Amino acid sequence: TSLAEFAKGLGLSVGLVTTTAIYDATPAVFAAHATDRGMYSSIAVQMLYSGFEVLMGGGLKVFSNLTDVAKQLGYTVVTKRSELLALPVQTNTKILGLFADENIPYVIDRQGNIPSLVDMVSKALEVLERNSEGFLLMVVVE
């Protein structure tokens, strides 16, 4: 059982925010169990079924075939900064934010409609703080 799974079991909300692909080693260890860190598809599916309220980072390439599953599980899927910032937060809001095919580009290389780490963390906190029991937020910056 990971720390995030333990927190979820206690009734806390859980969020994972990263500038890497969301299925990368560090975020993956919070939400998935795999025999090899390269089992991206399996990790992605496990992340969706984790019930975590926030999953944000890169990784659109792996998750592209899973967006319908994500929506069925209650996630709002966003792929642009403008969509993230405009997303209203309600009691049951769950976000799958995928802002690059793999890792999010470094700030100096970033073009287009990609949110900053501050944008992602701010929206994650807005979602997670609605739980009066508390929350766990993992943030990875690479």
The CA–CA distances, whole Å, from 61 to 23, 30, 128 equal 11, 20, 26
Q: What is the pLDDT of residue 98?
A: 98
pLDDT digit string (tens) for 17-46? 999 999 999 999 999 999 999 999 999 999
Q: Is 87 in contact with 47 (CB distance < 8 Å)?
A: no
Q: What is the pLDDT of residue 120?
A: 98
Q: What is the pLDDT of residue 142?
A: 86
pLDDT digit string (tens) for 85-120? 999 998 789 999 999 999 999 999 998 899 999 999
| pLDDT (average), residues 4-13 | 97
- Could you give the residue ranges of the DSSP H alpha helices within the chain? 3-9, 25-31, 40-49, 60-63, 67-72, 81-86, 117-128
